[in-house]
Structure 1
């Protein structure tokens, strides 16, 4: 995506409260915390939309790739709104984008890319198709390919 993402680019929303410990020595959100927010946004959505403990499915999503583009600082004590969208639903993977917003700005402060690859819950050694039906049903309404 060449332009800075806006709220209109996302489908599902969650507000997450920031904590004192989330800020680093420079007074802004620690880089590692962005990745925790991405993980929480995706997995909370999956739990709520499927009504299942996704960790107990025969095939589970493990993170195969993640990245972040930073546009402006975030930090404690204001809450962060996470917007979620799906770029691709594959045979054994899902590609998400997560926008992070704080305050009234329509433009994302950061955007993450998060790839879940589904593996057998027992050996977890390689991708397994097909994507679980419960997951496919949950994520398909979020499908909005990137520009």
Structure 2
């Protein structure tokens, strides 16, 4: 995806939003959110959605999601005490895998500060391999709710 298209993202391009209040400890020595914090936030918004809307119960589910790819494009700083909106959508839903996109916005501001991508492959907890049936039906149904059709650039 072209960086200009990602920079132009709006909250309305996403279907699920989770609020996060930054902490003093999220800042790095340059007084903005440390890069590693963004990945913590991506993991948090994805797993919040999976638990609340896809019937996933991580401690006991027979399937687990393994992160096989992630990256982030940064467009502007965030710093404590900002409150941010973590906006989530699904760009691609396969039989066993899902590609999420996360937009990070400072509340009250329209400019996207970062856009991340996070890919899960859902596998059997014990074998760590995808099942023949793919991801569980409840999981797939919940993820379908936030799928966004991508347009070609």
1:19 aligns with 2:23: yes
Residue 86 of structure 1 corresponds to 90
Query: Displacement of 1:51 after TM fit?
Result: 4.3
* Partner of residue 44, structure 2: 40
Q: Structure 2, unaligned stretches of length 5 or more?
A: none
Alignment of 1:65-84 (within 5 A): 65-84=69-88
Could you tell me which residue of structure 1 aligns to residue 102 of structure 2?
98
Q: How many residues align?
A: 146
Alignment of 1:115-126 (within 5 A): 115-124=119-128, 126=129
TM-score (norm 1): 0.93
Tell me if structure 1 keeps the 8 A contact 2:55–2:139.
no
Q: TM-score, normalised by structure 2?
A: 0.89
Task: Structure 1: give runs of 5+ residues left out of the alignment.
Answer: none
* 1:145 equivalent in alignment to 2:146: no
Distance in 2 between the 1:137 and 1:46 partners? 11
Q: Report the RMSD for the aligned CA atoms in angstroms.
A: 1.4
Instruction: Report the Cα distance in structure 2 between the residues aligned to 1:29 and 1:103, rounded to whole angstroms.
Output: 15
User: Do residues 128 (structure 1) and 131 (structure 2) align?
Assistant: yes
One of 21, 25, 32 as aligned partner of 1:28: 32
> What is the alpha-carbon distance in structure 2 between the residues aligned to residue 115 and residue 41 of structure 1?
13
Between the aligned partners of 1:133 and 1:55, the Cα distance in structure 2 is 18
Q: Is the 1:7–1:107 contact (alpha carbons within 8 Å) kept by the matching residues of 2?
A: no
Instruction: Report if aligned partners of 1:46, 1:54 keep a CA contact under 8 Å in 2.
Output: no
